[in-house]
Amino acid sequence: MAQQEKPWVWHYGEKYDGPKYRTTDTAWHPDILAGYEARFVDQGEAFDGPCRSTIIRRLCDRPTKRAILYVHGFNDYFFQKEMGEIYNDSGFNFYAVDLRRYGRSRLPWQYPFNVRKQREYFNDIDSALAQMRRDGNTDITLCGHSTGGLTVALLGAVKGKDCGVERIATNSPFLEWNFSPFMRNFAIPIISFFGQLDKNATHRQANCDGYAYSLLRQYHGEWEYDTNWKMIYSPPVTMSWLHSINHAQSELMSKAGNITVPILVMHSSRKIEGCNWTPEFQTGDCVLDPEMIQKRGEKLGTRRMVCAIDSGLHDLILSRKEVREAAYDSIFAFIRRYPAE
């Protein structure tokens, strides 16, 4: 498993001089996860050249028209093999999407995780939804974690009744920066403004290992994943990424009332401070502030559930067994509470 001993010198080869090719292989093929299959979707030309997304699916053994679509977060990709198995066992077809410049979808000339606007991801999500409908699914729950949670909530706010799903479920959505009031209200907006002027400039993130060490089996967690795709130390983010997140958060809250489908907002019960791993990192969210998620979550839509999962990690589904079972129980309770109309 690849690791980065000196994350502060991580950089992307900006002078890539190889061919930039369009993805043409769109046939289903066995996925890297046993029991899953995947296919690429050509998403056309982006600001940095051709781009693609990836749809991953695991279909239920028995016929069903109910389905889940999962959207990952920042510095992430879909690797949670258990997730699809749980949804299948509960009678749901399961789908996930690796967004452009993430995981399976990233191409050699692309800076990882980079984006100019969160709305760029709408095409990736819509492509997956179209595939799900072609497969006969009519009752779809759209799920998103962290920045993926922000994106799916924004999609619901922008598209309203035309969002193409019956409900939205979010897992620790990135609704607000986990910074001081000064940073949130003054520094971030200024950085966001300049991010429009020099989109490719980068900002180095803190050299923290607490979260990754809480997840990885080789340290203190129980999960295995490719650390080239979900890095132990996150690479520098571009100014355009910072602007994209800040703009999406503001746009979401300004259009929060436009979310017409039921929405679930889940978060941990406690915030964990610090950078390097301690046992406390196994008991809460060390990335975002659950209190901020709660406050903003209570403003989303008109039919909502906002709940805390006791001792959940930032990704509630990657918490220890009894905690993630509580998160799944909350998702299933939400679906039962708001059946398809």
Counts for the chain of helices (H) and strands (E), in that order? 9, 11
In this prediction, residue 2 carries a pLDDT of 41
Model confidence at 279: pLDDT above 70: yes
Model confidence at 174: pLDDT above 60: yes
Model confidence at 6: pLDDT above 50: no
What is the spatial distance between Cα 142 and Cα 68, in angstroms, rounded to a whole number?
Answer: 6
Domain count of the chain?
A: 1
Q: Which of the two residues, 250 and 3, has the higher pLDDT score?
A: 250
Q: C-alpha angle with apex 207: 249 to 320, nearest 5 degrees?
A: 75
- Determine which of 13-22, 132-141, 169-178, 232-241 has the lowest per-residue pLDDT on average: 13-22
In a domain, 122, yes or no: yes
In a domain, 193, yes or no: no
In this prediction, residue 99 carries a pLDDT of 98
- Give the mean pLDDT of 333-339: 98
In this prediction, residue 104 carries a pLDDT of 97
Q: What is the pLDDT of residues 221-264, one digit of tens each?
A: 999 999 999 999 988 888 899 999 999 999 999 999 999 999 99
Q: What is the pLDDT of residues 282-329, one digit of tens each?
A: 999 999 999 999 999 999 999 999 999 999 999 999 999 999 999 999
In a domain, 232, yes or no: no
Model confidence at 199: pLDDT above 90: no
Q: What is the pLDDT of residues 184-195, one digit of tens each?
A: 666 677 776 666
What's the pTM value of the predicted model, to 2 decimals?
A: 0.94
Reading phi first (left if > 0) and then psi (alpha if -120 to 50, else beta), residue 274 is in left
In a domain, 4, yes or no: no
In this prediction, residue 95 carries a pLDDT of 99
In a domain, 211, yes or no: no
First vs last C-alpha separation in the chain: 46
In this prediction, residue 70 carries a pLDDT of 99
In a domain, 278, yes or no: no
What is the spatial distance between Cα 28 and Cα 182, in angstroms, rounded to a whole number?
Answer: 49
In this prediction, residue 129 carries a pLDDT of 98
In this prediction, residue 207 carries a pLDDT of 84
What's the CATH code of the domain at 155? Answer: 3.40.50.1820
Question: For residue 267, what are the β-bridge partners?
Answer: 308
In this prediction, residue 12 carries a pLDDT of 52
Strand-strand pairing, 49-58 and 37-46: antiparallel
Model confidence at 14: pLDDT above 60: no
Model confidence at 7: pLDDT above 50: no
In this prediction, residue 23 carries a pLDDT of 87
Domain range for 73 is 31-175+241-271+283-337
In a domain, 303, yes or no: yes
In a domain, 227, yes or no: no
